[in-house]
Chain A
Amino acid sequence: MHTHGIEGHHLSKHYGSVTALDDVSICAASGTILALLGPNGAGKTTLLKILSGLCMPDAGWVRVDGVRPETSTDLAYLPDTMGFWPHLTGLDNLSILARMSGRTPPRNSFHKVIERVGLTSLANRRCAGYSLGEMRRLAMALVLLRQPRVLLLDEPTTGLDVDGVRMFRETLRDLANTGCAILLSSHELSEVEKLSDVVAFIVSGNLTEMGSLTELLAHHGKWRLRVSNLSLAIESLTRVESVTRTEVHGDLISIWARVDPTSEVMEMVHSQGLMLHEWSFAPAMLEDVWPVMSSKRSND
């Protein structure tokens, strides 16, 4: 099993006076799905272009399983605005692209992948008549034919219907299980939560945070406290050192803390003579983390 995947080190890119990327280092190991998150214009697409070898960085370097991306036969990239040759059928497009690299897949494999992505009825129709979602499906068929070791996707679910999104998710998960390193950028946070193992936030060309999704959500999660005397509890919580913020929703207190505050809170509950009804932890949703992450750079 490969462990390399794709790695980019100290990548910088400027367009005139605009800094698209500033010393970004990123790595997606084989078998993992890394989601790139960030506001519009943060530099996600530039990073993907550099990682795919389509665009050269001003500084830094990229390696795909140890080789340069532009010469790697193990890398596939699906850009956000991509096109196939409109005057050819979907099957012809697949056939030409699949054979370009010198590898000739068996004839029946074309029909298999076409069926897998749900394009059987459109396979012999010209691509000019394809919708955006159908183009995406065709692109996924190409990916399945190539079976790359590294896959880069730029907002891949745009234009896909519900079935398409499900197919896409299953396909990516299958590819990751076979050892493919997947790096995708998306604004669909719910999809990212379902799909990715690692998330990276890019803001104004800087990588502000990268780590396991589970850990990130746990880190930004909140504790829930329900006790007999609400006002006394809130007042006492202000004296607990690790607690950074509290919110009250009905009889429930939400608590955010720098570190696990369980022991301190339990001590406070006992010392105040409060009756404890509930003490639990709720991991954050990406949607909750998003505002914190997207404003991180400006706060820094």
Chain B
Amino acid sequence: MLRGELRKFLHLPSLWVLGAFVMLATLWICHAAVITVKAGVWPKALLSYQGSASDALVVFALVFAPIVGTVLGSIVMGTEFSWRSWPILLTQGVGRRRILGGKLLVMIVLVAGSIVLSTATALALAGVTQAIGPTETLVSLPQLLVQAAVALLAAGTWGLIASAVTLLSRSTAIGLIVVGGYAIAENVLELSNAVRPMLVAWNIRSLVSIVGGTVSTLRITKTIWPYPPLWATALLLSVLLAVCIALVLTAFPGDPGFQLRLHIGTDPLPDSGVTAHEEDRRA
């Protein structure tokens, strides 16, 4: 089951595009600000500051993992609707729970793959920069594992939510837009600590209204009743979302890593003690 599903999705071009996005996102996390500030001398600037792989994973977990999870969750469930392959899939005598479980497992495997890819990209980059010259690249394995677990939890939870919304709405686009919108609002457009409680409250209110709206719509059309496992899934997802939000809020309260620790403008570069502008002038 898992092998077949993996085989199916690994042949999907959009997953390869997503893989490229993960790699580029990781590279961006490590370098974007430096490249932006030190435009014109980018090869040197690229190597002048290197965030650690752990930093990259923290940012990946908080910013990109929810988006990657959302995309994977929507694709894994939604493509079957757009390909009209659910009927043939559901009449293979496998059982709905096993099919649903298999799909969620595939989603988790793909999410884990994206985290491994991000870590590998960050490590490879750190290796390259360290080989060229001494940098502040710090790699701590236990720290990496914790960050990877957080990234997996974040991406997995958003992936599960996206899967559920896609299944209920029977549309990849709705899964992507509704859940992706939340993921972006919550993570990419993350605001300061002062507005975070407001954002969380707004998120929770919106989530409740989405769930409530979906439930009442389904009550009217009666389409939910044939699928009692979906109720259990929706409940589980809500709990997971709450756990994820709580974890993020408690594990990284005002963490400097959360703010990318990138050196923009006149902040001194760690290895030289000179500002970016001064170095530019010297160059």
14 inter-chain pairs at a CB distance below 8 angstroms, sorted by A residue, are A15-B221, A70-B95, A71-B95, A73-B93, A75-B91, A77-B87, A82-B88, A84-B83, A85-B8, A85-B85, A87-B12, A97-B89, A100-B89, A146-B92
Min CB distance, A48 to chain B, in Å? 10
B7 sits at the interface (CB 8 A): yes
Q: Please report B residues at the A interface, Cβ cutoff 8 Å.
A: 1, 3-4, 7-8, 11-13, 83-85, 87-96, 221, 225-226
> Which single member of A55, A70, A83, A86 contacts B88 (CB below 8 Å)?
A83
Q: Are B91 and A100 in contact (CB under 8 A)?
A: no
> Which single member of B8, B11, B13, B90 contacts A54 (CB below 8 Å)?
B90
A139 sits at the interface (CB 8 A): yes
Cβ-closest 8 pairs across A and B: A73-B93, A83-B84, A56-B226, A96-B4, A77-B91, A83-B83, A79-B87, A83-B85
* Bound complex: CA A76 to CA B12 (Å): 27
* Bound complex: CA A82 to CA B91 (Å): 12
A92 sits at the interface (CB 8 A): yes
Min CB distance, A47 to chain B, in Å? 15
* Bound complex: CA A247 to CA B172 (Å): 60
Residues of chain B lying within 8 A (CB to CB) of residue A97:
4, 88-89, 92
> Closest residue to B226 on the A side, CB-wise?
A56
Q: Please report A residues at the B interface, Cβ cutoff 8 Å.
A: 15-16, 52-56, 70-79, 81-88, 92, 96-97, 99-101, 139, 142, 146
Q: Are A100 and B8 in contact (CB under 8 A)?
A: no
> Which single member of A53, A73, A82, A100 contacts B84 (CB below 8 Å)?
A82
Min CB distance, B7 to chain A, in Å? 6
* Bound complex: CA A15 to CA B221 (Å): 7
Q: Are B11 and A84 in contact (CB under 8 A)?
A: no
Residues of chain A lying within 8 A (CB to CB) of residue B90:
53-54, 70
> Closest residue to A64 on the B side, CB-wise?
B93
Min CB distance, B229 to chain A, in Å? 11
* Bound complex: CA A96 to CA B92 (Å): 11
> Which single member of A84, A85, A101 contacts B94 (CB below 8 Å)?
A101
A16-B221, A99-B4, A100-B1 given as contacts; is B85 within 8 A of A84 (CB)?
Answer: yes
* Bound complex: CA A75 to CA B95 (Å): 12
Q: Are B93 and A71 in contact (CB under 8 A)?
A: yes
**Apart from the given pairs A75-B93, A78-B88, A101-B94, 11 other A-B contacts in the complex at a CB distance below 8 Å:** A16-B221, A54-B90, A56-B226, A75-B91, A77-B87, A77-B88, A87-B11, A100-B1, A100-B89, A100-B92, A101-B93
* Bound complex: CA A126 to CA B197 (Å): 50
Q: Are A85 and B96 in contact (CB under 8 A)?
A: no
> Closest residue to A103 on the B side, CB-wise?
B93
Q: Are A96 and B8 in contact (CB under 8 A)?
A: yes
Q: Are B84 and A81 in contact (CB under 8 A)?
A: yes
> Which single member of A53, A72, A84, A100 contacts B4 (CB below 8 Å)?
A100
Q: Are B93 and A82 in contact (CB under 8 A)?
A: no
Residues of chain B lying within 8 A (CB to CB) of residue A146:
92
Residues of chain B lying within 8 A (CB to CB) of residue A54:
87, 90-91
Residues of chain B lying within 8 A (CB to CB) of residue A53:
90-91
> Closest residue to B3 on the A side, CB-wise?
A99
> Closest residue to A96 on the B side, CB-wise?
B4
* Bound complex: CA A96 to CA B102 (Å): 13
* Bound complex: CA A84 to CA B89 (Å): 9
Min CB distance, B166 to chain A, in Å? 17
* Bound complex: CA A224 to CA B168 (Å): 60
A16-B221, A88-B11, A96-B8 given as contacts; is B87 within 8 A of A82 (CB)?
Answer: yes
> Closest residue to A88 on the B side, CB-wise?
B11
* Bound complex: CA A99 to CA B3 (Å): 10
Q: Are B88 and A74 in contact (CB under 8 A)?
A: no
* Bound complex: CA A79 to CA B88 (Å): 8
> Closest residue to B81 on the A side, CB-wise?
A83
> Closest residue to A16 on the B side, CB-wise?
B221
Q: Are B87 and A70 in contact (CB under 8 A)?
A: no
* Bound complex: CA A101 to CA B89 (Å): 10
Min CB distance, A275 to chain B, in Å? 62
Residues of chain B lying within 8 A (CB to CB) of residue A74:
93
* Bound complex: CA A97 to CA B3 (Å): 11
Min CB distance, A183 to chain B, in Å? 13
